[in-house]
Chain A
């Protein structure tokens, strides 16, 4: 693929859990430096798409290709090693943070760079300190996660992903587990990353945030992409009835 190609292209992704077909056939193309918001009702398969891109789930069929990498065909037989190679290109920020409770904030952040990427420890620490300072947590480096608020934990979660320098950042409902007054601090960090040209896919229910930050909104329902396009178009002027109903419900819950 040439540099003009998208950073990531997924075609015809399928995934079933038992008899429940969660992803029917998903096509997704993500350009470098863009922010894609993945929205849709719960159960629509958004999170599963994200997990497939990160190798946390193995699709039953379809292809995933990162620019400069092989096109992985999740046909009948895909080698485990190939499937796991996806993890080298992307990193996930989880809804429930999933920080390592037995490690300090700093240890959480340097764990991947040191243990996986074999960076020199001193270099990894310097980088981690710089990133922590950026999200306003420099003074928390030696604390353990349980001493932090949810918003602080999620900012550490973001820094842990950033420290790996992935090509693609994946956010799985990053603010859904937070108290409302803590949502802002996390969204602010994500917005700053967007301005720095990180490529991101964000599964979110914060439509106002999606409209402000995303370059593209993908609306999913029932295992398929119903429509995608510019946020103003998809969220203000949806083409499809299903999208319209979803947006109405979120904007007018009562």
Chain B
């Protein structure tokens, strides 16, 4: 085993992880979650047109590969005269993708809150929007943490696809080091290990968050 290579490649890869993989995942997840909430609300709005648009969106996103979505935005759009840099392209593609999956999670979570909670909000004079914000979403948030954490962990790993549109994230660093050193096994296992540690940390964060949100709920 070439320990010098392991050590010398560790910092470029870790820094690609910390300066690209993680920020890319965080930004895409935050934007994706906002869009997901809009789509979930459209879906349960009871308005046929809005609901159909939301269903169509989820169907397209879940029915096409993320890599294809990424390529359409980065390599496809320029032929329509829209050229987007690698970073924004990656953020757009990942947010749109996350939104498709998270919308279904949020929809199920909102519907899981008992109807009596809506009525309790209404009887103290709250509008639908205020009830949603103050009563329903806080309870839906608790239900949706485990599945949303899964989505986020998948996203962290999926950001490696951004290497294919030239974003200098963890895996792109690994590819360059591997090509230069010709030590593919060592370098790629090392990259895998770094992803794994990232995801372990996220899992710990997930447990802590779940515990926090579960404080006030009878089991």
Contacts and interface: CB of A to CB of B under 8 A. Distances in A.
Binding partners A and B: yes
A161 B216 contact: no
A94 interface: yes
B122 A87 contact: yes
B125 interface: yes
Contacts, number: 59
A220 B125 CA distance: 28
B120 A164 contact: no
Interface string A64-87: 000000000000000000001001
Interface in A216-248: none
Interface stretch (B16-24, B97-105, B130-138, B160-168): B130-138
Contact of B218 (A94, A112, A146): A146
B37 interface: no
Contacts of B218: 146
A56 interface: yes
Nearest to A116: B125
A122 interface: no
A114 B203 CA distance: 37
Contact of B116 (A54, A96, A111, A144): A96
Given A115-B134, A146-B218, A98 B120 contact: yes
Contacts of B216: 101-102, 144, 146
A211 to B, nearest CB: 27
B126 A54 contact: no
Contact of B119 (A98, A111, A115): A98
A92 B125 CA distance: 10
* Interface bracket on A: 20 to 34
B122 A112 contact: no
A176 interface: no
A117 interface: yes
A160 B124 contact: yes
Contacts of A56: 119, 122-123
B217 interface: yes
B124 A111 contact: yes
Given A112-B124, A144-B216, A164-B125, A102 B139 contact: yes
* Interface bracket on B: 20 to 34
Interface string A178-209: 00000000000000000000000000000000
B121 to A, nearest CB: 8
A91 interface: yes
Nearest to A117: B125
A161 B120 CA distance: 10
A55 interface: yes
B45 interface: no
A31 interface: no
B132 to A, nearest CB: 12
B117 interface: yes
Contact of B217 (A99, A101, A112, A160): A101
Contacts of A91: 123-124
Given A115-B134, A146-B216, A100 B122 contact: no
A167 interface: no
A87 B128 CA distance: 13
Contacts of A100: 117, 120, 135
A100 B116 CA distance: 10
Contacts of A54: 122-123
Interface in A134-164: 144, 146, 160-161, 164
6 contacts: A56-B119, A56-B123, A94-B123, A100-B120, A111-B134, A146-B216
Closest 6 CB pairs of A and B: A112-B124, A146-B218, A98-B120, A116-B125, A144-B216, A98-B116
Interface of A: 54-56, 84, 87-88, 91-92, 94, 96, 98-102, 111-112, 115-117, 144, 146, 160-161, 164
